[in-house]
Amino acid sequence: MIALGQQIENKFLEAVNKKSGSNILECYQCGKCVSTCPVSSFMDFPPREIMQMVKLGLKEETYMANSMWFCLTCAACSSRCPREIDIPRVMEAIRHLAIEENVDPDNPKVKAIRKFHEIFLDMIKRYGRNYELRMMAEFNIRTRNLFKDMHLAPKALLKGKIPLGHEKVQRAKAIQRMFKMAEKLEKIK
């Protein structure tokens, strides 16, 4: 059972609304997003339920969900939402709030996804561009799943699918400065 009624001021809802630019109170729970979402069956709580949880101000429960990490940002839901809520941005808002508040749910899949993104960003920070082979390898090393997708690698390499060299941005300094500045901006708010 979830006890309701303590929160007269729903700060969580306000925060999500502000960050996402949508008003979640407009959601009338039609569920069109859920059947639209290609990954809703992989989520603990499909988008419709996330909306309701935000409406009720269930912050911790929402942060613990994997839904926003699974969101593909494919925007299929928002293009069908009869109330024109930008659901991917709502998911994004919740994700960013969770990161800001250092919430790290103990969910291996979410951890893997987060790890992937961290490696990805790290790679851009270092080289300015991405390189799939290194990406795959680093991901497998860091998630201690060395042999995942290894069956694809030789085939892909053989077919020339994945080149061996890694391209880099010449003014890599600019990229690194950008990262530093962006991080600073993030903290200013």
Partner 1 sequence: MARVGVFVCFCGANIADFVDVPAVTEEAKKIKEVKYAIEYKYMCSDPGQQMIRDAIVQHRLTSVVVAACSPRMHEKTFRKALSDAGMNPYLLEVANIREHSSWVHQKDKKAATEKASDLIRMAVAKSIANEQLHEISVPVTKRALVIGGGIAGIQAALDIADARIPVVLVEKSPSIGGRMAQLDETFPTLDCSQCILTPKMVDVASHPFIELLPYSEVMELDGYVGNYKAKIKRKASYVNFDTCTGCGACWQKCPVKVPNEFNMGIDKRKAIYSPFPQAVPNKPVIDAEHCTMLLKGKCGICAKVCEKGSIDYTMQDEIVEREIGAVVVATGYDLWDPSPYEEYGVGRYKDIITSLEFERMVSANGPTGGVPVRPSDGKVPKRVVFIKCVGSRDEAKGIEYCSKICCMYTAKHAILLHHKVHDSHAYIFYMDIRAAGKGYEEFVKRAQVETGATYLRGRVSKIYKKGENLMVRGEDAQLGQVVEVEADLVVLATAIYPYKDNPDLARLLGISYDKYGYLSEAHPKLRPVETAKAGIYLAGCTQAPKDIPDTVAQASAAAAKVCGLFAGDTLKKDPMISTVNTEFCTGCQNCVTVCPYQAIVTEEIPLGHGSKEMRIVAKVNEGVCQGCGSCVAICRSMAIDLAGFTDMQIINEIVSI
Partner 2 sequence: MTKLTYFPGCSAHGTSEEFDSTLKLVMKTLGVEMEELPDWNCCGATSAHVMTENLALALPLRNLVLAERLPNKTMGIACASCYSRMKTTKVEMDSHPELAKKINSTIVEEGEYKGVVDVKSMLQFFYEDIGPEAIAEKVVYPLKGLKVACYYGCLLTRPKSVTQFDSPEYPISMDRIMEALGAKPTAFDFKTECCGASFSISDTEIVLSLSGTILEMARESGAHAIVVACPLCQSNLDMRQPDIDKKAGTKYNIPVLYITQLMALAFGYPLKDLKPAKHIIPIEPALAHIGEEIETPEEKKKPRKVVEAESEVE
Q: How far is the CB of 4 from partner 2 (least distance, A)?
A: 31
Q: Per-residue b/e over 31-70, b at no fewer than 16 CB within 10 Å? A: eebbebbeebeebebbbbbbbebbbbbbbeebbbbbbbbb
| Residue 83 sits in the site that holds partner 1 (CB under 8 A) | yes
Q: Which of 7, 23, 60, 84 binds partner 1 (CB under 8 A)?
A: 84
> Looking only at residues 12 through 51 of this chain, which bind partner 2 when binding is defined by CB under 8 A?
38-39, 42
CB 38 within 8 A of CB 87: no
Nearer to partner 1, 81 or 110 (CB): 81
CB 66 within 8 A of CB 91: no
Q: Which of 40, 54, 90, 98 binds partner 1 (CB under 8 A)?
A: 40
Nearer to partner 2, 56 or 75 (CB): 75
| Residue 117 sits in the site that holds partner 2 (CB under 8 A) | yes
| Residue 41 sits in the site that holds partner 1 (CB under 8 A) | yes
DSSP state of 26: G
SS3 percent helix, strand, coil of the chain, rounded to 5, is: 60, 0, 40
Q: How distant, in Å, are the alpha carbons of 24, 30, 58, 106, 154 from that of 65?
A: 18, 21, 11, 10, 36
Nearer to partner 2, 5 or 160 (CB): 160
Q: Which of 19, 80, 96, 142 binds partner 1 (CB under 8 A)?
A: 80
> Which contiguous run of DSSP H or E holds residue 103?
none
| Residue 141 sits in the site that holds partner 2 (CB under 8 A) | no
**Residue written as token pair 């979640």:** 24
CB 51 within 8 A of CB 39: no
> Looking only at residues 99 through 128 of this chain, which bind partner 1 when binding is defined by CB under 8 A?
none
| Residue 163 sits in the site that holds partner 2 (CB under 8 A) | yes
Interaction site with partner 2 (CB under 8 A):
38-39, 42, 69-70, 72-76, 78-80, 86, 88, 92, 95-96, 99, 109, 112-118, 120-121, 124, 128-132, 135-136, 139, 148-149, 152, 155-156, 159-163, 167, 169-171, 174-175, 177-179, 181-183, 185-186
